[in-house]
Structure 1
Amino acid sequence: MLRITLEQWRMFRAVVEFGGFNQAAQSIHKSQSSIHNAVGKIESALNVKLFTIQGRKTVLTEAGEMMLRRANYLLDEAAKVEAIGQTLGEGIESKLRIAVDAIFPQQLLYKVLNDTSSQYPQLRIELHESVLMGGNELLVNDQVDIAITGFPIAAGFHEELCNIEFIAVAHPDHPLHAIDREITLEDLKSHRQIVVRDSANKHKQDGGWLGADQRWTVTHLRTSIDMISNGLGFAWLPKIAIEKQLAAGQMKALNLTHNSSRSAKLHLLFKDGDKLGPAARAFLGELRYQVMENL
């Protein structure tokens, strides 16, 4: 029989989170005496001192810091259990939120989404088109259920999904194509590079060679493709995304001495598989199948 309830642990964490007993009481709508009583019961049951008073501040003791780490884990796991139970109780989820890096092949993504919707016609799909760390940030902040990104996460599930080939390209009339020899990185420095901005708000990453003195940064991959097609610079772009432009003569691969082609790995991420409903599982199954067949 547990001597301390989840509610008592929650009140203990609130004191830490809001900086004192009075602040915690106001924030979680409990009386100050209830908060004091809950913390006192924990201290009595475990024979530890959780807080000490320094001036006007309520400060964790060393034992309190250790118990806070354990309490955080306990409360977070309890929240997960409730979320899983809610998913099971509701059956088929009504909404699926997915973050997909812009370099993932669009036509393949559209097919996976359409096949998932065919199985679950009432499902509402929210698609977040992300760049670099943007998908990871959305997943960590619980703004999406599933993410396809270039970076794995430490906590949660991840698997390698596919490799995307990038090639360095410019419009056929671009001055770089007039160089009658292999193009060096020094040659590139004198010309404008088009790069796509990381969609994350924090912990941004740079993708691709960024040594050009001139650089235009855009938000969408489609904008970069359009700029290159109009002769406004050079870029490393996903080969599968520019097949039409290459075939139509709107772009041409640069004859670089090295790094004219490179590969980027995409990962499939989600936090907790037990929280995913049948529609999410159907999406994952169709995604893996289409990637295996087409990439």
Structure 2
Amino acid sequence: MNRAKSTLEQWRIIQSVVDFGGYAQAAEKLNKSQSSLNHAVAKLQNQLGIQLLEVRGRKAYLTEQGEVLLRRSRHLTQSVDELEQLASNLGQGWEPNLTIAREIIYPMHFLVDALKAFLPDSRGTRVTVIDSVISGTNELIDGNKVDLAICGVPPKGHIAEPLCESELYLVCPPNHPLTHCGIVADERELAQHLQVVIKETSINKAADTGWLKSEQRWTVSNFHEAKNVLLSGIGFCWAPAYLVEDDIKNGSLVRLILKGSKSRKIQLSLIIPNRDSQGPASKLLESMILTQHEISHYHGV
């Protein structure tokens, strides 16, 4: 049997160098010396007889061959991580911690009610809820960083259980110039005004999504901050209906009807990133979330 020329640790190091933007940044994140990372990558390249990285300035860049091998290596290290996690779950039984990714347009009251139902049988499990946005949610799923995830467009290769539809309204303050012709907004006119958008939570820069044609944009972390900007009297924003309906009713905000698009509707789904390693606590909480949407739970707990 031929002995492997490389180790998982070497591949994890080169992944970190690429993901964090250089040797110095990766060394800080991994709590290792920069020289040890340089040595590990140099040894790997020597063992394989191929250059994976080239340094330009202070940043390391993948070669064409490096891109191909790094992509394959991610599948390998992820498979090993999943195998080790499965062994850990089988050994420990009930999970002491659960992490949930929640796409921020998902109504929080559904999740709160599910967690309240989960609490009496949770056996002290600590729960962390991460508010995530678009590709940031998918990044957490693909990286197996969470136990459960509620997302919009599911990443490829994952089975999703549809939960509900979230409707987004186009809103602005009542004194905004866009309200001068009633509640209908023209797309070209809309593009001339300040748009308030929500920052994606992905580590790796993702392509812009949604309606982003305004030249002037302010980016904030969540819809509560976006609403505060609007209530101060400036900007427009696509915001979840459940979050702004009361403000529309009391006149604090005005709903605009964009020609050709009365509203935006996004399907939200529940994903278990790694079903094979799902523990009993995660299965129970999954059933509680599905119950909130009157969906039968088919997996044994």
TM range (shorter): 0.7 to 0.9
Query: What is the RMSD computed on CA atoms of the aligned residues?
Result: 3.4
C-alpha separation in 2, matches of 1:195 and 1:124: 32
Q: Is the 8 A contact 1:13 1:72 kept in 2?
A: no
One-letter amino acid of the structure 2 residue matched with residue 113 of structure 1 = L
C-alpha separation in 2, matches of 1:248 and 1:83: 51
Equivalence for 2:244: 242
With over 3 angstroms needed to count, the CA separation of the structure-2 counterparts of 1:90 and 1:262, relative to structure 1, is same
State the Cα deviation string for residues 6-62 of structure 1 (Å, max 9, x = none). Answer: xx55x644597489xxx99x96xxxx9xxxxxxxxxxxxxxxxxx77589xxxxxxx
With over 3 angstroms needed to count, the CA separation of the structure-2 counterparts of 1:203 and 1:269, relative to structure 1, is farther
With over 3 angstroms needed to count, the CA separation of the structure-2 counterparts of 1:180 and 1:95, relative to structure 1, is closer
Which ranges in structure 2 are unaligned for 5 or more consecutive residues?
A: 15-35, 52-67, 296-301
Which of the residues 82, 85, 108 maps onto 1:83?
85
Which of the residues 132, 138, 141 maps onto 1:139?
141
Q: Is the 8 A contact 1:167 1:261 kept in 2?
A: yes
Equivalence for 2:103: 101
Equivalence for 2:130: 128
1:268 deviates by 2.0
Equivalence for 1:266: 268
Equivalence for 1:222: 224
One-letter amino acid of the structure 2 residue matched with residue 143 of structure 1 = K
SS in 2 for 1:254: strand
State the Cα deviation string for residues 206-243 of structure 1 (Å, max 9, x = none). Answer: 34311223211111111112222232111111112222
Q: Is the 8 A contact 2:8 2:77 kept in 1?
A: no
Equivalence for 1:35: none
1:160 deviates by 3.0
Match runs of 1:4-43 below 5 Å: 12-14=6-8, 17=11
> What TM-score comes out, normalization by structure 1 length?
0.72
Count of equivalent residues = 252
Q: Is the 8 A contact 2:122 2:281 kept in 1?
A: yes
With over 3 angstroms needed to count, the CA separation of the structure-2 counterparts of 1:131 and 1:79, relative to structure 1, is closer
With over 3 angstroms needed to count, the CA separation of the structure-2 counterparts of 1:80 and 1:246, relative to structure 1, is same
1:153 deviates by 1.9
1:121 deviates by 4.3
C-alpha separation in 2, matches of 1:154 and 1:166: 24
Which piece of structure 1 moves more, 174-183 or 250-259? 174-183
C-alpha separation in 1, matches of 2:168 and 2:50: 58
State the Cα deviation string for residues 132-160 of structure 1 (Å, max 9, x = none). Answer: 11112123333222221223122443333
1:272 deviates by 1.6
> What TM-score comes out, normalization by structure 2 length?
0.71
C-alpha separation in 1, matches of 2:117 and 2:269: 21
With over 3 angstroms needed to count, the CA separation of the structure-2 counterparts of 1:203 and 1:291, relative to structure 1, is farther
Q: Is the 8 A contact 2:186 2:259 kept in 1?
A: yes
SS in 1 for 2:153: coil
C-alpha separation in 2, matches of 1:53 and 1:131: 41
Fraction of identical pairs, as percent: 27
State the Cα deviation string for residues 154-178 of structure 1 (Å, max 9, x = none). Answer: 2443333322111111122222112
Q: Is the 8 A contact 2:100 2:130 kept in 1?
A: yes
With over 3 angstroms needed to count, the CA separation of the structure-2 counterparts of 1:92 and 1:260, relative to structure 1, is same
C-alpha separation in 2, matches of 1:211 and 1:178: 21
1:75 deviates by 7.4
C-alpha separation in 2, matches of 1:218 and 1:87: 38
Which ranges in structure 1 are unaligned for 5 or more consecutive residues?
A: 33-50, 56-64
Asked if residue 213 in structure 1 is aligned to residue 215 in structure 2, the reply is yes
